A and B are shown apart, each in its own frame.
Chain A
């Protein structure tokens, strides 16, 4: 990249400088507030930025504007009622929150989930990953002036939401994962609709790349901006596509054995430079890999139950309630009191679209969790924002923020 001229030498007309009594306007540090209500902050993030001309000298993210005390509210809900709460933390990747919480509770009560449920969970998680990356790509490209990207990305996102609606009844916040499996089997016709989507999606991704990869404005704004070294990112605890863009092939789906991921053949895309362009490339490549995972999960989808058959934790089938007294009692106990979890604690982490999403659950033996804590990747990754932006231009800072992809619902919880 060509060396950029320092800001002091460009821009200011000599008359303006003459008018200012004895002040070098370009080197004056000015503190500017961006947000919390600004579309470029992707939510209610407030940035207090010290500017010297157009150069960012210091940036302090201020968070907490959408803190709703979800973790505290969970203490007062029985385990199965916590699921819709945690879904609303990171409102773009709700299936991941559900998996983190349900997986943690399943490990606490040592409940093995059926193979079909594992496959269905992988299908929905990967659909959600594509959905999340589409929201990211559309809004970030919009920040950089590529307005048409928003419509193309949201077009495909809508097809994913249609699939969610078909299987779960809800487009967002589906409450589909349950402790023990998933709440319902996929409906008839879902597979055909999903297959047509995964056949189209790689073509669509190719179209996004055709729009952006040779777009001069996009390239100039993303290449060599927001670079943070791999070592620094690891120190800051950054995970997910941001870390992989810096060349570290770290993906919890590969590293740890959870759900049915070890069965599937997929690649972990990594970048080389760690700039905003690599972050874009890694996420776009991940969408294609997610499509491959969905395809394999659908091909290998085993027959059998979609939820575990342990009546102490899982609701009995609706049809049994009118014929079996025992089922009715189980149903009543589960719905009114919930199930008790023996005193124990666990930290269960999965790979969300933004990195390591960890769920810590502390059980005290009652039917309500004593503590539910989410290690939200957006919250931790946001600490790298200062390193990405300091001594860059304001415009590059906005680009870096988009590429960081924070979801403020997850940051503030």
Chain B
């Protein structure tokens, strides 16, 4: 793990190349965390993968979390690993929920263009099946092919759209499923169990 000063050095170098990319750094449970603006996710991941002295070439895990009452509601976590130095680094891309009225807080205190920060580079707002606006971020499958299934899983459960993913479809849930079950406002239980065969034939 890079130590706390090492993390600040990384932050400084990224800031020099991509101003505004790093929003925050954190250090908890011996793990360095870099919170970034989703618009710069590919630039930051590419830099961490390729810059000499960094070389976080292995993406251990990609997952998302929903911090519901918090303002940037979602975060996509990239657990990077340098296998030579045995160092892990977590990159957190904070994403607003475009469907909520309080969106548009990512990317500094005064975002000049809300669609550019929440839409991953000014692309038109992506909508779900019910016309619901979905958060979106650039896909890193080109950088880390291992992200393919994991980004599909995040899309499946959180409704986070990965722009440029080769095949962004539901992976574990049925294709016609409606809703994003790992979001915190999705209730546990209460899912109707449909016994369509029984209803049709014996109902």
User: Which residues of A line the B interface, CB within 8 A?
Assistant: 63-64, 67, 69, 71-73, 75-76, 107-108, 234-238, 250, 255-256, 344-347, 349, 356, 358, 360, 362, 364, 370-371, 373, 375, 379-380, 382-383, 412-413
The docked-state distance in angstroms from the alpha carbon of A204 to that of B66 is 49
- Cβ contact within 8 Å between B66 and A375: no
- Cβ contact within 8 Å between A236 and B146: yes
The docked-state distance in angstroms from the alpha carbon of A75 to that of B186 is 11
- Cβ contact within 8 Å between A235 and B145: yes
Partner of B149, one of A71, A72, A382: A382
Would you call the interface of chain A mostly helix, strand, loop, or mixed?
mixed
Is B174 in contact with chain A by the CB < 8 A criterion?
yes
Partner of B171, one of A63, A75, A250: A63
- Cβ contact within 8 Å between B58 and A234: yes
- Cβ contact within 8 Å between B188 and A371: no
With both beta carbons as reference points, the residue of chain A lying nearest to B175 in the complex is identified as: A64
Partner of B188, one of A72, A250, A356: A72
- Cβ contact within 8 Å between B60 and A358: yes
Is B28 in contact with chain A by the CB < 8 A criterion?
yes
**Which residues on the B side are within 8 Å of A412 (C-beta)?**
172
The docked-state distance in angstroms from the alpha carbon of A311 to that of B59 is 38
- Cβ contact within 8 Å between A370 and B149: no
8 closest cross-chain pairs (CB), A and B:
A237-B146, A375-B61, A64-B172, A76-B188, A67-B172, A373-B63, A235-B145, A255-B86
With both beta carbons as reference points, the residue of chain B lying nearest to A64 in the complex is identified as: B172
Is B184 in contact with chain A by the CB < 8 A criterion?
yes
A347-B79, A362-B67 given; 18 more Cβ-contact pairs under 8 Å: A64-B170, A64-B173, A75-B184, A76-B189, A237-B144, A237-B145, A344-B28, A346-B31, A349-B60, A356-B60, A358-B61, A358-B79, A360-B77, A362-B65, A375-B61, A379-B150, A382-B149, A383-B146
Is B25 in contact with chain A by the CB < 8 A criterion?
no
Q: Which positions 16-37 of chain B face chain A at CB distance < 8 Å? A: 28-29, 31
- Cβ contact within 8 Å between A380 and B63: no
A349 to chain B, nearest CB (A): 6
The docked-state distance in angstroms from the alpha carbon of A40 to that of B79 is 33
With both beta carbons as reference points, the residue of chain B lying nearest to A349 in the complex is identified as: B60
**Which residues on the B side are within 8 Å of A67 (C-beta)?**
172-173
**Which residues on the A side are within 8 Å of B189 (C-beta)?**
76
The docked-state distance in angstroms from the alpha carbon of A178 to that of B172 is 30
A-B contact pairs, 19 of them (CB 8 A): A64-B172, A67-B172, A234-B58, A236-B145, A237-B145, A237-B147, A344-B29, A345-B28, A347-B88, A349-B79, A356-B60, A358-B60, A358-B61, A362-B67, A371-B66, A371-B182, A375-B61, A380-B146, A383-B145
Is B127 in contact with chain A by the CB < 8 A criterion?
no
**Which residues on the A side are within 8 Å of B174 (C-beta)?**
64
A236 to chain B, nearest CB (A): 5
**Which residues on the B side are within 8 Å of A63 (C-beta)?**
171-172
Beta-carbon contacts of B29-67 to A below 8 Å, as 1s and 0s? Answer: 101000000000000000000000000011111010111
B47 to chain A, nearest CB (A): 18
Q: Which positions 94-140 of chain B face chain A at CB distance < 8 Å? A: none
Beta-carbon contacts of B147-180 to A below 8 Å, as 1s and 0s? Answer: 1111001000100000000000011111000000
The docked-state distance in angstroms from the alpha carbon of A144 to that of B59 is 34
- Cβ contact within 8 Å between B86 and A237: no
- Cβ contact within 8 Å between B63 and A383: no
Partner of A347, one of B59, B67, B90, B181: B90
- Cβ contact within 8 Å between A345 and B65: yes
**Which residues on the A side are within 8 Å of B67 (C-beta)?**
362, 364, 370
- Cβ contact within 8 Å between B31 and A72: no
The docked-state distance in angstroms from the alpha carbon of A108 to that of B31 is 12
- Cβ contact within 8 Å between B90 and A237: no
The docked-state distance in angstroms from the alpha carbon of A366 to that of B200 is 44
Known contacts being A72-B188, A237-B144, is A256 close to B182, with CB within 8 Å? no
With both beta carbons as reference points, the residue of chain A lying nearest to B88 in the complex is identified as: A347
Partner of A235, one of B146, B171, B182: B146
- Cβ contact within 8 Å between B149 and A379: yes
B68 to chain A, nearest CB (A): 8
- Cβ contact within 8 Å between A371 and B65: yes
**Which residues on the B side are within 8 Å of A360 (C-beta)?**
61, 63, 65, 77
